[in-house]
């Protein structure tokens, strides 16, 4: 079931849990500083939540990220498919047709695969907001073929910052991927994969192996924690994480 909604600057924010499962065996030593010494052992199992966020604003209904998708998703090699996003949306009375804007934080398979169903946009009335830099990078051949191509006519590319719906802003936050973006609603920052693990709250210099540019990711993470009040992350167990600004300076 969806989490209890919270309201930020007049926008209702509902965290939706698409899936919960361990970081796939195909991925080893994802946080080298935190889990040194070889492969990611069973007793160090890292269980990820896969969250998407529904924003109900006066100007429209927005979905941030689309989850891991169907059984045959590009994420199926490592993530616990299928995702249950559609059921989570239905539980709060939202049909795919109701979504006006989809914001894709980035093109990794656990965030963008649910954007397409059976070769067509999963949210047929939505425009899909993505950073131009991310589209240029494309997330690899599989994502280009399976996600970007079917979305082609519905894509709306932005450069650095934009406000797709009044009160809902996106901003480029690179490092995890070249065109990774965050979403800001009042005091809330929906941070995508700028942070992967809770340990990075106290120490944003902890690297994540699959950050595209680890140095830039550390800078982005540090800057974000220095100005954030509340975070909504993709993969933490808690839907909302309070942050005391300045702790990480
Ligand atoms: Zn990612
Ligand atoms: Zn992710």
Model pLDDT for residues 10-63, shown as the tens digit of each residue: 999 999 999 998 876 555 567 777 766 555 554 567 789 999 999 999 999 999
Give me ligand 2 centre to Cα 111, in Å: 6
Q: What is residue 209's predicted lDDT score, i.e. its pLDDT?
A: 85
CA angle 76, 128, 10 (to 5 degrees): 110
DSSP letters, 195-243, are --STHHHH-TT---TT-SSHHHHHHHHHHHHHH-SEEEESSSSSS-EE-
Q: What is residue 42's predicted lDDT score, i.e. its pLDDT?
A: 47
Residue found under tokens 């989850």: 67
Evaluate whether residue 248 is within a structural domain: no
CA 16 from centroid of its chain's CA atoms: 11
Query: In the chain, which stretches have pLDDT less than 70?
Result: 24-29, 35-44, 245-249
Evaluate whether residue 43 is within a structural domain: yes
Count the domains in the chain.
1
Query: Please, are residues 156 and 194 in contact by the beta-carbon 8 Å criterion?
Result: no
Look up the domain containing 94 and give its range: 6-242
Evaluate whether residue 1 is within a structural domain: no
Q: What is the CATH number of the domain that holds 158?
A: 3.60.15.10
Closest CA to 110 of 219, 235, 222: 235
- Ion ligand 2 nearby residues (CB, 5 A): 110, 193, 234
Evaluate whether residue 151 is within a structural domain: yes
Give me ligand 1 centre to Cα 194, in Å: 8
Q: What is residue 129's predicted lDDT score, i.e. its pLDDT?
A: 98
CA angle 149, 155, 158 (to 5 degrees): 130
Evaluate whether residue 249 is within a structural domain: no
DSSP letters, 20-76, are EEEPPTTS--SSTTTS-SSS--GGG--EEEEEEEEEEETTEEEEE--BS-STT-TTT
Closest CA to 131 of 74, 86, 192, 79: 192
Give me ligand 1 centre to Cα 66, in Å: 12
Give me ligand 1 centre to Cα 124, in Å: 24
Evaluate whether residue 247 is within a structural domain: no
Written as six digits, the tokens of 88 are 């989570």
Give me ligand 2 centre to Cα 195, in Å: 9
Evaluate whether residue 93 is within a structural domain: yes
Model pLDDT for residues 142-155, shown as the tens digit of each residue: 999 999 999 999 99
Q: What is residue 51's predicted lDDT score, i.e. its pLDDT?
A: 97
Evaluate whether residue 219 is within a structural domain: yes
Give me ligand 2 centre to Cα 94, in Å: 23
């Amino acid at each position: 079931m969806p989490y209890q909604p919270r309201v930020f600057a007049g926008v209702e924010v509902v965290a939706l849990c698409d899936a919960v499962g361990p970081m796939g065996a195909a991925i080893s030593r994802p946080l080298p500083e935190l889990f040194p010494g070889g492969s990611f052992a069973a007793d160090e199992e890292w269980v990820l939540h896969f969250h998407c966020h529904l924003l109900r604003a006066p100007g429209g209904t927005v979905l941030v990220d689309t989850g891991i998708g169907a059984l045959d998703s590009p994420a199926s090699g490592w993530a616990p498919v299928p995702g249950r996003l559609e059921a989570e949306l239905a539980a709060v009375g939202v049909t795919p047709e109701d979504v006006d804007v989809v914001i894709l934080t980035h093109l990794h398979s656990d965030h963008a695969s649910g954007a397409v169903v059976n070769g067509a946009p999963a949210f047929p009335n939505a425009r899909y907001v993505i950073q131009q830099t991310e589209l240029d990078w494309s997330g690899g051949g599989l994502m280009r073929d399976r996600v970007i191509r079917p979305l082609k006519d519905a894509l709306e590319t932005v450069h650095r910052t934009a406000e797709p719906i009044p009160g809902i802003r996106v901003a480029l936050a690179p490092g995890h991927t070249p065109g990774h973006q965050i979403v800001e609603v009042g005091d809330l920052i929906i941070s995508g994969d700028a942070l992967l693990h809770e340990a990075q709250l106290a120490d944003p210099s902890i690297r994540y192996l699959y950050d595209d540019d680890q140095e830039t990711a550390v800078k982005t993470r540090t800057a974000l924690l220095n100005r954030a009040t509340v975070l909504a992350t993709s993969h933490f167990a808690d839907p909302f994480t309070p942050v005391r600004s300045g702790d990480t300076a």
